[in-house]
Amino acid sequence: MKVRPEKVAVIDEVAERVATTSTAVVTEYRGMTVAQISTLRRRLRALGADYKVFKNTLVRRAISGTSVEPLSEFLDGPTAIAFIDGDVSAVAKALRDFTKESPALIVKGGVLDGRSLSSAELSALAELPSRDVLLAQLAGLLASPLRTMAGLLKAVPQNFAYGLSALLDARGGAPVEGTTGAETPAGVEDAEEASEDTAAEAEGVVASEEAIAEPVAETEAPTEASSEPAE
């Protein structure tokens, strides 16, 4: 049976969308006005989704054997499909919010990377933060330990300098230029000075004794001579 050109065009259009994305959501639009469908289409387009009404039989033929074939179970009644090339959670949230404005819109189900999604699962996705928010939160989590590490690395040389300064102060300050690296304890200096004084005193005593001994020797010599009998 020959397919009419307009049907072939629809099949080719759906196949082209399927070739660029494997994520889609099926809705039932019965009871919605043309104006409401147009408003929803504009909102979803801003989120990277192409929302359009298709005939079910042609969609089934176009998606047969593709990654989005699970959509076939939702193709019942007047349906419109949102082929998503963006954040699926943002699209699910937009659809959920629009059902509050227009209760006639029914989210039937969808497919995510070849996996079938029920309406309940799409509702759960609608509760998730958008991809941009999740990426920002992830970036914050990654940046937090990096900032902490940077602060620690910055604090290390500062703390080392403070510790070194405190150590030098505790030991009497930095060595004065022209002196040896090691300082002589005060007790040792006192002992050395006392030793020098004692040595000096001993030398003085010896000198005094020698000075006293010399006159005695001189007086003793004539005494010995006078003791001999005169001739």
The structural domains of the chain, with segments of one domain joined by +, span: 5-129
pLDDT at 32 over 90: yes
Please state the rounded mean pLDDT for residues 146-168. 60
Round to whole Å and give the CA distance between 93 and 21. 19
pLDDT digits (tens, 9 = 90+) for 65-95: 998 999 999 999 999 999 998 888 999 999 9
Q: Which two tokens stand for residue 175?
A: 């060595």
In a 3-state reduction of DSSP, which class is residue 28?
Answer: strand
- Identify whether the C-beta of residue 26 lies closer than 8 Å to the C-beta of residue 75: yes
Higher pLDDT, 138 or 55: 55
| pLDDT reported for residue 181 | 46
Contact 59, 14 (CB under 8 A): yes
CATH T-level assignment (fold) for domain 5-129 = Alpha-Beta Plaits (3.30.70)
- The whole-angstrom separation of Cα 119 and Cα 92 is 10
Q: What is the pLDDT of residue 75?
A: 94
Kindly report the number of other CB atoms within 10 A of residue 56's CB atom. 17
In this prediction, residue 131 carries a pLDDT of: 60
SS3 30: coil
Pure H helices in 102-130: 119-127
| C-alpha to C-alpha distance for 210 and 33, rounded to whole angstroms | 138
DSSP letter string, 31-70? T--HHHHHHHHHHHHHTTEEEEE--HHHHHHHHTTSTTGG
Q: Which residues contact 168 (CB under 8 A, 6 or more apart)?
A: 174
Phi and psi torsions of 147, nearest 5°:
-65, -40
pTM over 0.95: no
Question: Is 56 within 8 Å of 12 (Cβ atoms)?
Answer: no
Residue 163, token pair as written in the block: 């510790």
Is the pLDDT higher at 188 or at 4? 4
